[in-house]
Amino acid sequence: MRDILDICQQATEGPKLDEQDFDIDYVYATLVGLIETYDLHFDGDDPVPSDDALADCVFAAAVEFFVGCGVYFKDTQRVVTFSPDEVRADLAAYSGQCHFGDGAEARVFTPRKPDSDTRPWCHVGAGTVASTEEIAMQIVRGNASIAAADSMSVPALDHVDGHLIMANTPAEVRGAIRSIRIARQACKDVGREGLAIINGVAAAGTARGTIAASSQASGWRESDCVIVGTLAEFKTNFEMMTKVVWCQDSPTRCVLASAPLMGGFAGGPEAMAIINTAYAILGVVVYQCDYFLSLPMDLRLGCSTSRPVLWAWSVSNQAISRNTNVPTLALPYAAGGPMTESYYYEAAAATIAAIASGVSCQTTHPAGALFPDFLTPMEMRGCVEIALGATGMTRKEASPVVAKLLTIYENKLTDPDRGKSYPECFDIKTGQPTAEHVKVVEAIKGDLAKLGVPFKPAER
């Protein structure tokens, strides 16, 4: 496996390539050719395919894509490439185990396989914005109180001490540190001080902010995890690589979070299946991450619960889980918001598809993660109950349930119900849901159960 600094050095050498040429001649053209070579065809009637040969073809195509395209560094306008032997060796050497959390909350995140009854890793919460520190505290307390939670994401803040948090400012550093301290205190309040934070650091927009907050002074631990992203499509920069170096040398855990965009250069569902799988390879070979966080998006709809995305995602998850030892979390984005029927139907479809396809799942982000305070522990608990209930479902069992859910909600994705914010459906002082919220959600869950959506209590 290449040293990170060697990869960065190679990004300063050789001929330059215009970014648009990389987009069109490398990414787009390569994907089009691979779709034809492997004869890939989207089947919207079967949103969770159970064709192992299809998954294996997509994995083979993803390896070819990664080797053929390489990774584009925006800072230097150069491409760094890797050989097929290098890719195979790095994947074979991958440990397949991630150790998160401390003390009683220490857990090992391991990969799953399609149709498996292995309990999935249950990751709760989101890095969405909380408008006040009090709301952030209550959201984390509620999420950490979900007994089945193995790890969590913590909210970002938009202000700190009355100052707007902006990237590359002192307020970013203070806000990022404050967000971690709030989360640690909230976990301590509910008796789960050792619960791992693995969305480091949502309040930080730069490597500087991330490094400042992921230190012991802020309450950060080695058993937590920093998120490192990519740039669409198949691009990175030295800012991202700085986070990777920090994770390796501090040390702390590191995850690649990729969000390929259907409707952009990632193309349609067949292309998205390939490139999302290739991102898992990038996470191992380039970033040398501990696990893969997958969040493909429909560029037109701003969510990941459309029929084409769910098909592509299911195929990709199967390709990854069948052919690698990479622990993978699927992170769905719903168009519907908290306390809405649409949210729960979308979350159920995405969660069931992920679990049956052999990966674990993060709780679905409401309302496209676009609005401050639009997340509550009620929705997070519901997602965990579905993930645990779906454990053991085969792909053949899951696909008709997901297809049925799609027919109910997919026509609402263009004009989604935004739902209600945390202050509108929870008591900020007590951290408890309103009676109306409980009543609405219980009715929705009853309707989902009639459609074949399984629920299991969110206990350990």
**What's the confidence (pLDDT) of residue 231?**
95
Q: Above 90 in pLDDT, residue 164?
A: yes
Q: 369, 73, 91: which is closest to 240 by C-alpha?
A: 73
Question: pLDDT value at position 128?
Answer: 94
Question: Can you tell me the mean pLDDT for 161-178?
Answer: 96
pLDDT over threshold 90, residue 79: yes
pLDDT in tens, 102-125: 999 999 999 999 999 999 999 999
How much is the pLDDT for 300? Answer: 95
Percent of the chain scored above 90 by pLDDT? 96
pLDDT at 215: 84
387 contacts: CB under 8 Å, gap ≥ 6? 120, 122, 351, 355, 360, 361
Terminal Cα distance for the chain, rounded: 37
Query: What does residue 227 show for φ and ψ, rounded to 5 degrees?
Result: -85, 130
Averaged pLDDT for residues 155-170:
96
Asked whether residue 91 carries a pLDDT value surpassing 90, the answer given is yes
What is the per-residue pLDDT for 177?
A: 96
Q: pLDDT value at position 96?
A: 87
Strand positions, DSSP E, 211-283: 225-229, 235-236, 253-258, 261-262
Q: What band does 80 get if pLDDT is binned at 50, 70 and 90?
A: very high
Domains and CATH numbers, the chain: 98-231+238-259+300-450 (3.20.20.460)
- Measured between alpha carbons, how far is 364 from 13 in angstroms, rounded to an integer? 41
Degrees to nearest 5, angle at CA 86 with 80 and 89: 145
Q: At 176, which helix (H) or strand (E)?
A: helix 170-189
pLDDT at 335 (0 to 100): 98
- Confidence at 30, pLDDT banded by 50, 70, 90: very high
- pLDDT band of residue 33 (cuts 50, 70, 90) is very high
Query: Position of tokens 């997919």?
Result: 410
pLDDT of 266 above 90: no
Give the tokens for residue 452: 């074949």
C-alpha 380/C-alpha 422 separation (Å) is 13
Query: How far is C-alpha 239 from the chain's CA centre?
Result: 20
If you average pLDDT over residues 200-204, what whole number do you get?
A: 90
Quick one: what percent of the chain has pLDDT higher than 70?
100
Tokens for 305?
Answer: 């619960």
User: What is the pLDDT of the chain when averaged over all its residues?
Assistant: 97
Residue-wise pLDDT tens digits, 334-349: 999 999 999 999 999 9
Is residue 445 within 8 Å of residue 376, measured between CB atoms? Answer: no
Residues 351/390, Cβ–Cβ less than 8 Å? yes
Any bridge partners for residue 151, and if so which?
123, 196
Nearest to 53 by CA among 315, 418, 397, 306: 315
The two three-digit tokens of residue 295, written as one number? 């969040």
Tell whether pTM > 0.85. yes
- Cα(121)–Cα(116) distance, integer angstroms: 13
pLDDT surpassing 90 at residue 67? yes
